[in-house]
Amino acid sequence: MNLEEYKGVYVFAQQVDNEISSIAFELLGKAKDLAKDLNTDVTAVLIGSGIKGLADQLAEYGADKVIVVDDPELKDYRTEPYAHALASVINKYKPEIMLVGATAIGRDLGPRVSARVATGLTADCTVLEIGDFPLQAVPGQEQLHNQLLMTRPAFGGNTIATIACPYNRPQMATVRAGVMQKITPIKGAKANVEEFNPGFTPDNKYVEILDIVKSVAETVDIMDAKILVSGGRGVGSPENFKILEDLAEVLGGTVSCSRAVVDSGWKPKDLQVGQTGKTVRPNVYFAIGISGAIQHVAGMEESDIIIAINKDADAPIFDVADYGVVGDLNKIVPKLTEALKAEIAAAKG
């Protein structure tokens, strides 16, 4: 592998139902930073069926070039045709960096493609930067410059590792959603669009989609919410989430939950905060009846203000809460809602 041949920062521009996912714009924002440090360009790889018209949107969010792989086999996400498309793009265009969102699609596509093109993949990155490997010069080992340094939490968020991929290309990372910043769209920006089709011949690895069942869309994505009222097993029942919904409504917030609540079938998966759910960083996070397992904390500890209500004074959630209230949520939450209603009415008054 001649590493010098590999140039440019590439982003897998995920689309679902021919609508570009937010993560694609986030990755473009980060890719622009990295490309500036490396003095190179940003290329978005758009894969799907009937998707050519989406290319300009990617340009507005920072793509200099868009490679479009458009084929009927790529209508809905399936591992094999998408892996074939992305691996073929990598083999033909030789990017030095390939970023993929750490979504339910990207966390399947990324590993399959990295194994196919024989390179490393760092999962669920939260920080990406250009630097040296090793970080400090070591006698007897060549220090390589302009490497992608990929930082990620592991062990339920208890350890942080910075990883490099010094001797293979591309340097591949999946990146957590909601962490990187999109740029302000540049209206009217046009990308240099290039179409590429490596040919798709169905084989044993092409699975058949028999049905697609969409869950009822929640109105607000918890990752975008400024105030989250989050409930855990301590809320006691799905019906009792009503008191959390009332509190959220008064504050203009949104209800989210812990994994235990999803596992019990009380709330859908897209409201789950934590290591296997979503990472959130609202202005205010209410943790109500949530014990605070580290997997949960990993998904919410970056919130500006954390307020915890729990009857167990030893619950680990109090270790990360700015304001911890030991007490019965059933007594406190409804009264809190009423008090806030009165306060807000008075302020408007």
Residues of span 234-293 touching other proteins by CB under 8 A: 251, 262-263, 269-270, 275-276, 283-284, 293
Q: Rounded to the nearest 5°, which phi and psi values hold at 45? A: -110, 115
Between 5 and 209, name the residue whose CB sits nearer to other proteins. Answer: 209
- Residue 235 near residue 288, CB atoms below 8 Å: yes
- Residue 247 near residue 337, CB atoms below 8 Å: yes
Question: Token pair for residue 322?
Answer: 């700015």
Report the relative pairing of strands 19-20 and 15-16 from DSSP bridges: antiparallel
What minimum distance in Å lies between the beta carbon of 175 and other proteins? 13
| CB-neighbour burial class of residue 118 (10 A; exposed 0-12, middle 13-18, buried 19+) | exposed
Cα distances (angstroms) measured from residue 338 to each of 170, 182, 347 = 56, 38, 14
Site track 38-67 with other proteins (rule: CB under 8 A), x = hit: ------------------------------
Considering the rule CB under 8 A, would residue 149 count as an interface residue with other proteins? yes
Considering the rule CB under 8 A, would residue 154 count as an interface residue with other proteins? yes
Between 186 and 207, name the residue whose CB sits nearer to other proteins. Answer: 207
* CA–CA distance, 270 with 295 (Å, rounded to integer): 16
Considering the rule CB under 8 A, would residue 186 count as an interface residue with other proteins? no
What minimum distance in Å lies between the beta carbon of 184 and other proteins? 26
Size of the site for other proteins (CB under 8 A): 98
Considering the rule CB under 8 A, would residue 79 count as an interface residue with other proteins? yes
Q: 201 CB contacts (<8 Å, ≥6 apart)?
A: none
Cα distances (angstroms) measured from residue 297 to each of 61, 219, 226, 269, 302 = 31, 24, 18, 17, 9
* CA–CA distance, 254 with 228 (Å, rounded to integer): 5
- Residue 307 near residue 251, CB atoms below 8 Å: no
* CA–CA distance, 340 with 326 (Å, rounded to integer): 19
Between 136 and 187, name the residue whose CB sits nearer to other proteins. Answer: 136
Which residues between 190 and 229 bind other proteins (CB under 8 A)? 204-215, 217, 227
Between 12 and 63, name the residue whose CB sits nearer to other proteins. Answer: 12
Q: How far is CA 68 from the centre of its chain?
A: 23
What minimum distance in Å lies between the beta carbon of 76 and other proteins? 7
Question: Token pair for residue 53?
Answer: 């018209």
Q: How far apart are the first and last CA of the chain?
A: 70
Between 54 and 125, name the residue whose CB sits nearer to other proteins. Answer: 125
The residue to which tokens 């490309």 are assigned: 35
Which residues between 298 and 337 bind other proteins (CB under 8 A)? 301, 305-307, 309, 313, 318-328, 331-332, 335-336
Which residues between 2 and 21 bind other proteins (CB under 8 A)? 16
Between 59 and 295, name the residue whose CB sits nearer to other proteins. Answer: 295
What minimum distance in Å lies between the beta carbon of 213 and other proteins? 5
Q: Select from 7-15, 38-46, 163-171, 178-186 the region that touches other proteins (CB under 8 A).
A: 163-171
Considering the rule CB under 8 A, would residue 180 count as an interface residue with other proteins? no
Q: Select from 32-40, 131-139, 179-187, 193-201 the region that touches other proteins (CB under 8 A).
A: 131-139
Contact with other proteins (CB under 8 A): which of 76, 142, 194, 312? 76
* CA–CA distance, 349 with 345 (Å, rounded to integer): 6
Which residues between 89 and 108 bind other proteins (CB under 8 A)? 103-105, 107-108
Considering the rule CB under 8 A, would residue 230 count as an interface residue with other proteins? no
Between 143 and 192, name the residue whose CB sits nearer to other proteins. Answer: 143
Between 56 and 301, name the residue whose CB sits nearer to other proteins. Answer: 301
- Cα angle 304-257-123, degrees, rounded to a multiple of 5: 75
Contact with other proteins (CB under 8 A): which of 153, 231, 232, 274? 153
